[in-house]
Amino acid sequence: MLGLSLMISLTMASAGTMTARGAMTQATDSDPLARESKVLKVHPAGPVDGKNLVMHDVILSRDIWPKRHSYHWLDDGHYLTYSVSGGYMKVDAESGACETYDPRAAADSSKIKIQKSISEAGGILVNQDLGGRYVYTKGNGLYWMDSSLVERTVNQPESKQIVCGQSVSRNEFGINEGSYPSPDGRLLAYYRKDESKVTDFPLLDINTRTGSLMTTKYPMNGMDSEYLELHVYDFSSSRDVVCKVEDFGQDRYLTNISWSPDSKYVFIQVLDRTQKHLRLNMYKASDGSFVKTILTEDDSRFVEPLDHIYFLKGTELFIYRTNNRDGYRNLYLCDYEGRVARLTKVDADVAYVDNDGVNVFYTSAEVSPVENHLFKIQVRPGKGKAAADASAARFSAPLALTPEEGWHTVSLSEDCKLFIDSYSSFNVPGVENLRRTSDGSLVREISHSEDPLASYATGEMDFGTVKSADGKYDNYYRLYKPKGFDSSKKYPVVLYVYGGPHSQMVKDSWLGEIRMWEMYMAQRGYLVYVQDNRGTENRGKDFEQAIHDQCGQNEMADQMVGINMLKSLPYVDADRIGVHGWSYGGFMTISLMTNYPETFKVGVAGGPVIDWKWYEVMYGERYMDTMETNPEGFAKTSLINKAKDLKGKLLICQGAVDKTVVWENSLSFVRECIKNNVQLDYFPYPCAEHNVRGKDRIHLMDKVTAYFDDNL
């Protein structure tokens, strides 16, 4: 499977010890797990007299990144890409012949007129060309328009506390849309969200003459949440029906809305408020009546649905993904009677890509959790009456379609015969190939990126593993060394951390999924270390759920194994270790600073969660339950209780109009520090939300950098 041989390299691991790729580095006797770290790959240093990065380029420049192209399949034999000179190019997939392409010229005039009318009416287009109909939201209502240019109402609630046709549940559970057209375009399923019981959190807008308060709906842990309905609207008759969901009470979640191929049925993955019980239910689209529960999932920790169901083309069999049955997010072939056959029999997380009615295509971490590869499995349904029986289907062995090591992102043609494969690996900046799905054979190379940092003064970079604190897993890391690195000298360390769910900071992609500020800091004389830990994604259910009811605890334990490994290296100044992270990483930063004050001298935390009682219902209750059901966990993880233990220099940066981690978190920590006469530094960004973006981010990262320069 590994098309490129892994690089054999030598690097200083400890005093007097040279290690080859895969060899163990040495560590102190105080942490035997740290002895089991391995350097897997090394990226050589750049020219000592090369260029230095500047913060403007780190934040805003595209020139220091490998060239990437976006692709959109126009039809089975042609795709669109954006040319370097501007504008779209239509490319013949097989030959590579190009011609300019103007999407406006290809669009019919009525489509352009409809879209213009929607825009002029203040609408936001969400679904287009449903039999000539275009669906859009405006304010809190949902509308549609056709060539008559007459605005027609799907649902316009009288109360501003109710919203129709927009995403719900704060975009958790894989929800990114608010409406779902039927396959035949005649019907529209959409969310109706009632937030009348959800508390308002105040935010200060300083852009008005005297300042003004604006509010955001923020359902905090254990408090009232939104109430959801799923409606089905008929364009022809204007009839609107509500799906009769009677499971789990009013505060249940309605997730991953899907349609049957014949447009007769709607499927809802109904999840209870505790997120421990799920039912895949089937409803009649004509009247919203409940038909049956097809599948159920139960787990004492949590069940997290993230995917729609996908029908095998030409059949009534569907593909379903869960990690609740075999310990990893695998694909299952299912039918309306609840019969289930495991499609991907692999101890690795996989993700559905597409199917052509014969082959199911998916990406998988089975080669390595830091690699992503495309596979296919052929499905042979049963004959006659057994055609609708998932258990009667037979599957071929999986076939790998991406031979080169690294992280592959794929785009399949509509007929699933060709795919564009964009990949990179630690020492490969980027390659884009056109391949056949029949066997993965190469049609042609589309592009090959050169190293954009080749002329920069960069230090050597390591890619490796260190054991988790429980000894069960290899956690992956990347380590950037200073320019002009001298193993006989000692260097300060900056740990950049996120560590939370739905993240993977380290991949076998170019330079290990680098963030350019890390390179910038390495050029300034720091060792910069980034490591994944238990609780992050793509490693299976037990790895991901290790944080349940105790966010931060196992994550910190894993990070400290990595830190102890670093302390064992002769060139690490163990008295000068700092940490920086944002959001969950901000929570981790302060957690590490207060739980390990003897290790971390300086920290910069951005938008940190301080106490999970102040975080929102959907995410927070999944991982921490509630204060009533998990009082010990809330007490143990609260940083309010840890403020008195802060010893090092800490800077907190906070967007003052943050709607994700509200200001109550960091201000409450500041207040607790004041109560305990503990000094810290605080810097708000008055107009920033959860992330500081654009040119303001240059100011932010200059401030973060200066804080380490001045204090570490």
Percentage of residues of the chain with pLDDT beyond 90: 88
What local confidence, expressed as pLDDT, does residue 84 receive? 62
Instruction: Look up tokens 């403020």; give the residue.
Output: 643
Q: How crowded is the C-beta side of 538, counted as CA atoms within 13 Å?
A: 25
Instruction: State the pLDDT at residue 6.
Output: 30
Among 78-87, 299-308, 529-538, 662-671, the minimum mean pLDDT is found in: 78-87
Tally of residues, the chain: 712
Mean pLDDT, residues 511-523 taken together: 96
pTM check: above 0.85: yes
pLDDT in tens, 466-488: 999 999 999 999 999 999 999 99
pLDDT value of position 72? 87
Q: Which pLDDT tens digit goes with each residue over 321-366?
A: 999 999 999 999 999 999 999 999 999 999 999 999 999 999 999 9
* Nearest-angstrom CA–CA distance, 219 and 617: 6
Q: Provide the pLDDT for residue 227.
A: 97
648, pLDDT greater than 70: yes
From 89-93, 225-229, 261-265, the region with the lowest mean pLDDT = 89-93
Average pLDDT value over all residues in the chain: 93
Q: Band of the pLDDT at 7, cuts 50, 70, 90?
A: very low
**Residues involved in catalysis:** 583, 658, 690
Q: What is the pLDDT of residues 218-260, one digit of tens each?
A: 999 999 999 999 999 999 999 999 999 999 999 999 999 999 9
Model confidence band, residue 30 (pLDDT cutoffs 50, 70, 90): low
- Residue 655 reports pLDDT greater than 70: yes
What own/partner pairs with CB < 8 Å and gap ≥ 24 does 378-385 have?
A: 379/312, 379/317, 379/333, 379/343, 379/355, 381/312, 381/315, 381/317
Burial (CB count within 10 angstroms: exposed 0-12, middle 13-18, buried 19+), residue 588: buried
Residue 181 has pLDDT above 80, yes or no: yes
Q: How does pLDDT run across 105-130, given as a tens digit for each residue?
A: 766 778 889 999 999 999 999 988 89
> Is the confidence at residue 35, as pLDDT, over 90?
no
Confidence band of 1 (pLDDT split at 50, 70, 90):
very low
Domains and CATH numbers, the chain: 11-65+453-711 (3.40.50.1820), 157-305 (2.140.10.30)
Give 640's pLDDT tier (boundaries 50, 70, 90): very high
Distance CA 245, CA 270 (A): 8
